[in-house]
Amino acid sequence: MAHPTTGKRFVALSAAVALGFGGAMIAGPASAAPSTDLKTAAAEAFTSSESIAAIGHGEDGSLVAQVVAGSDEAEVEKALEPANAVAQDQTGEDLVVQEVASTYSTQSPEPSSTATDGAAYEASDDVVAGAGYVVETSAGAGLCSVGFPATGPEGEDAIITAGHCSGGEATGDVYVERPSTSNVFTDSYDTAEWDQSRKLGEFTHSQYGPKVLGDVETDADLDPEQMQDFAVITVDESAGFNLIGEAATWSEESGQADDLASDTTDITGVHDVTSEDIGSEVFHSGRTTGKTAGDIGWDESNGKVSIGIVDGYAPVTDDAGNEYMVYGFASETNVAGGDSGGAVMMGDKAVGVVSGGIEASADMPAMLWTAELAEGLTHLPGDYEIKTSGESTEDPSETPSEDPTEEPTEDPTTPAPTPTETDDADVDAELSVDPQEIAAERFLAEDEEQAESDDRGVKYTVEGVEPGSEVLFETFTGSDAASANAGSEEAPAEETDQEPAKSITVTANEDGVAQSRIWGMTTAEAEAYIGEYDVVAQTEEETLEGSFSVVAGDGDQGEGGDEGEGGEDLPRTGSTVAPLAAGAAGLVALGGALVYVARRRQA
């Protein structure tokens, strides 16, 4: 048991004396905090020598120092003198010294390229949604999953994933994990290998929060722009990776062959998840649980109350205990550590990345919180477009089977607007907004059923369009609309580039009529919705405009609208505003979420 230091007692330590990872540190026994003496001595040791990995308590009350093998003998001995004195004083024994390979600069196991057992892993060129990756930052190594292969503003290859995977920092080198060593196939976190010889890329953008739960006191504080969990990994194009717009199924065969691209599901575009999607199934693809599916909203079959939350906000706690707010939606999908950042899909549409989750317990099903992609894409630095099936880095000539739209928030299957203004349209299309002024109390509705039966909210009708054609309804909060703060998708600060608070596409019925209804969710105070709203209906041939206003009281006064002094000073009292509803899982549902229901049936 040779050791460079002399005069010390060298004792092999059991695994129980692991002193943790993430940097040199002091550990105390469970029953008592480290004594001030030891702290002082440890601090001296750490500042006198960079070869001290750890100092702490070992078994049977002994004091232990871990020292990097091969370090300067005299320096280490001198650095540990005070600690040795404390050890003798407190335990009557010498300090126990253990050799370790290095200080605790990373949390990672040896990457496979330097592993001693087995052949080094050479990553496949093909990278698909859901694949595992390792990110190495100054804080250590973590494993997450690929969200979506994408194309960046300059035509570069990129990957969209979760911001928290890099701790919200735009830094960190990324390597491809070997699929067959992931938890999907080994059920262990200790088997992970990755190809460190070929860097996939690095984080060049990352946003997690930055708003935290403590920043939120009223619904006015809820702002999608400040509540994101998205990051961009810019791919190192010289490394020869081929990004494919398809999601891994994690089938046994594809995993064991380390070829996830051999078994995938198509990605054809991006879908904006709305309340219409409550009850729909989503699935995720990631390196820990593989591919699992669940419904948006709880499954009532388990006897629990069904809660669907879309366009909502939830605090997602990170490894420092910070409760960062993330905009997205909930589904009853099983996920586990390592699935973060992975792709969430609805059918063949990309809808988000894995942000957070809750494991299933005796009285609650598993839950997945998805950071919503349609919103998240609008907050990335520049235009990122998700790669779709048929496109890939190496085969740009191949035409996608479905048209990836420029604006990824809507259904990409929209037929091309071939008809001219006059073709097929006997009458000019007309938009009606009914009513054009509504009392805040009447704007609220519990759900679609109540909105319909009580005629709550505001109804949009476009007549005179081609049957079967699509009409995009967009609702914008006016400059003095209080609901600018409550809308499900926040209007950006710049008035010049305002985005709709809500948008939805409706297919016209056989009579050429497309209808939609919008209302305010009762999770917010009615007053939160007071203000002016602009409505834009885009048919395949023209753009129609309208507006309505939500006013205070019972709707009789015509002059009620001027209390909105501009989004910040809302006509409400802070103490009575409690719009943030509690879900069974304690989720934060956004009070001000505007709810749409498309009417596809005959008017």
Partner 1 sequence: MASDEQTSSILQGRWEAEVPTTAFLEFRGPAPVGGLLGGKPGEGVLSGSDGCNGVGGWYAPDGETATIRRGLSTLKACPGVDTWLSKASSVRADGTVLHVYDGTGEEIGVLTRAET
When the beta carbons of 87 and 144 are compared against partner 1, the nearer one is 144
Contact 386, 270 (CB under 8 A): yes
Does the footprint of partner 1 cover residue 214 (CB under 8 A)? yes
H or E element at residue 442? helix 440-443
DSSP state at residue 435: -
Tell which one of 140, 347, 400, 464 touches partner 1 (CB under 8 A).
140
Determine, following the binding rule CB under 8 A, whether residue 118 of this chain makes contact with partner 1. no
Among 255, 356, 376, 567, contact with partner 1 (rule: CB under 8 A): 356
Shortest Å distance, C-beta 56 to partner 1: 8
Among 79, 143, 439, 484, binds partner 1 (CB under 8 A): 143
- With tokens 């109390």, the residue in question is 441
Q: Which is nearer to partner 1, 273 or 439 (CB)?
A: 273
Least spacing, CB of residue 166 vs partner 1, in Å: 10
SS3 432: strand
In sequence order, what are the residues at sequence separation of 6 or more whose Cβ sits closer than 8 angstroms to the Cβ of residue 317? Answer: 323, 324, 356
Residue 439 to residue 552: CA distance in whole angstroms = 6
Give the integer Cα–Cα distance in Å for 554 and 398.
59
Q: Within 23-42, which residues bind partner 1 (CB under 8 A)?
A: 25, 27-33
CB of 303 to partner 1, least distance (A): 18
Stretch that binds partner 1, among 113-121, 184-192, 237-245, 558-566 (CB under 8 A): 184-192
Decide if 577 contacts 525 (C-beta within 8 A). yes
Query: Which of 108, 538 has the CB closer to partner 1?
Result: 108
* Dist CA 263 CA 261 (whole Å): 5
Q: CB under 8 A: which stretch of 106-114, 410-418, 509-517, 528-536 binds partner 1?
A: 106-114
Nearer to partner 1, 493 or 582 (CB): 582
Residues contacting residue 578 through CB under 8 Å, at least 6 positions apart: 525
Q: What is the closest distance, in whole angstroms, from the C-beta atom of residue 227 to partner 1 in the complex?
A: 13
Q: Which amino acid is at 53?
A: A
Could you tell me how many residues of this chain bind partner 1 (CB under 8 A)? 69
Q: DSSP readout, 356-406?
A: EEE--BTTB--EEEEEEHHHHHTTSSS--EE--TT-BSS-TTSPPSS---S
Taking the complex as a whole, the smallest distance from the CB of residue 368 to partner 1 amounts, in Å, to: 9
> Residue 445, class by beta-carbon neighbours within 10 Å (0-12 exposed, 13-18 middle, 19+ buried)?
buried
Q: What is the CA radius of gyration of the chain?
A: 29
Would you count residue 192 as binding partner 1 (CB under 8 A)? yes
Q: How far is the CB of 498 from partner 1 (least distance, A)?
A: 27
- N- to C-terminal Cα separation, the chain: 87
Q: How many Cβ atoms are within 10 Å of 127's Cβ, its own excluded?
A: 25
CB 173 within 8 A of CB 238: no
Q: How far is the CB of 546 from partner 1 (least distance, A)?
A: 35
How many Å apart are CA 207 and CA 164, to the nearest integer?
Answer: 7
Q: Which is nearer to partner 1, 219 or 258 (CB)?
A: 219
The 268-297 contact track toward partner 1, x by CB under 8 A, reads: -------------------xx---------
Among 109, 210, 400, 419, binds partner 1 (CB under 8 A): 109
Q: Which of residues 533-592 bind partner 1 (CB under 8 A)?
A: 578, 580-583, 585-588
CB of 394 to partner 1, least distance (A): 30
Question: Hey, which residues between 307 and 326 contact partner 1 (CB under 8 A)?
Answer: 314-323
Nearer to partner 1, 181 or 477 (CB): 181
CA distances from 374 to 210, 377, 380, 388, 421 (A): 19, 6, 11, 15, 30
Nearest approach in angstroms of CB 12 to partner 1 is 18
Binding site for partner 1 (CB under 8 A): 18-22, 25, 27-33, 107-109, 140-144, 162, 164-165, 183, 189-190, 192, 213-214, 216-217, 287-288, 314-323, 335-340, 354-359, 361-362, 367, 369, 578, 580-583, 585-588
